[in-house]
Amino acid sequence: MGLEVVRAIIEVEGYDLAAAIDHHCVGKDAGELAGCPIIGIPIQTDLKAALEISRSQVLVDFTLPDSVFSNILTCIELGVHVVVGTTGLGKEAVKELNEKSLTKGTGVFIAPNFAIGAVLMMQFAAQAAKYMPDVQIIELHHEKKIDSPSGTALLTAQKIAAARIEASVSPIELPKNLVEKSPGALGARDTGTGDVPIHSVRLPGFVAHQEVIFGGVGQSLTIRHDSLDRRSFMPGVILAVCKVQSLRGVVVGLEKLL
Torsion angle of the four alpha carbons 43, 47, 53, 58, in this order, in degrees rounded to the nearest 10 = 100
Residue of 141, 159, 199, 225 marked active site = 141
Residue of 28, 130, 145, 243 marked active site = 145
Annotation says 28 is catalytic: no
Q: Residues near 65 by Cβ (< 8 Å), separated by ≥ 6?
A: 86, 87, 88, 89, 146, 147
Cα–Cα distance for residue pair 173/156, rounded to 1 Å: 20
Annotation says 145 is catalytic: yes
Cα–Cα distance for residue pair 99/107, rounded to 1 Å: 11
Q: Residues near 18 by Cβ (< 8 Å), separated by ≥ 6?
A: 41, 54, 55, 56, 57
Count of residues for the chain? 258
Helices (H) and strands (E) in the chain, counts: 8, 11
Closest C-alpha to 194, from 215, 165, 152: 165
Catalytic residues: 141, 145
